[in-house]
Amino acid sequence: MPSSKGNARAGLKTKRAAWLRAKEAADTVEATSLGKREADAPGGAVQKERLLLNRLRDESHADAVGEAWIRIERHSKNGDEGHRVVRHLLEAFTLSKSIALVPVDYRRSLKRLSQLKDFAGQLYTFFADDIVSDPVWMIIAGSRLTNERDFEATVASLWHIQLFLTGREQEFSHIFGQIGLTREVKVAAAQRVVFSAALSKAMHDLFGRWLDDVVRILTNVALETETSVDQVKHARKGTARRRGAY
């Protein structure tokens, strides 16, 4: 009968072998996905994703990642699930990092963004089409903005402001719609909630079941935090309820 020490050594060896397979998956995703993208994107998104891959490959996380990979591979059917899990990890990580861009009062901020975007669009239309024909314009604006070149730059600025606000509105709407983030989620926990909920959904889509313990382990590795299975369940169930899908 094998000794407890022998079982422990065998368990550690099995986890390490699984971690090495996880490293291979991370290497493949980095070469095929991140390697084809720009060196970095606004906000350092690519750099942050590479840091996450490095955490997966860090030997200090070998036991945790190995355990998660063993659980994942029990449900694998096609052989490429490891690569897909890594990609979902990156997507969840990037989405969770976007929370830093969202003010505390989420819903009011989204409504305000929508209003500002509409106002910017109205200003752009007015300045581009109507104000030049207004006889009072030259008196009020003075020579600086009646200069054709300066005027065109002003109109272009209004256009860029509208584009910026439109992008922010779409970004926040994506977070609210896909993750179900609301004001009830505290700022300190928002990143963990978003990450674990997004990864939980991805795991369910991929394997057809909730792998809460796997999500717990990978959340701890990715965000360098301490997450419980109950917190993972609460995040995914609360998110689904807010989206009306649970």
Measured distance CA(217)–CA(65) in Å, rounded: 7
Q: In this structure, how many other beta carbons lie within 10 angstroms of the beta carbon of residue 7?
A: 11
pLDDT of residue 245: 45
Distance CA 53, CA 30 (A): 8
Position 238 pLDDT exceeds 80: no
Highest mean pLDDT, choosing among 102-106, 108-112, 116-120, 221-225:
221-225
Q: Kindly give the residue spans of alpha helices, DSSP state H, lying in 33-147.
A: 45-57, 62-73, 81-97, 106-125, 137-146
The answer to whether residue 44 scores a pLDDT higher than 90 is: no
Instruction: Among 7-21, 53-67, 126-140, 216-230, name the one with the lowest average pLDDT.
Output: 126-140
| DSSP, res 43 | T
149 or 200: whose pLDDT is higher?
200
Query: How much is the pLDDT for 190?
Result: 79
Q: Which residue has the tokens 């096609």?
A: 78
What is the pLDDT confidence band of residue 60, given thresholds at 50, 70 and 90?
A: very high
More confident residue, 86 or 39: 86
Residue 122 — very low, low, confident or very high, per pLDDT cuts 50/70/90? confident
Counted residue by residue, the chain has a size of 246
Average pLDDT, the chain: 79
Higher pLDDT, 38 or 11: 11
- Residue 223 pLDDT exceeds 80: yes
pLDDT-based confidence at residue 246 (cuts at 50, 70, 90) = very low
Residue listed under structure tokens 């990642």:
65
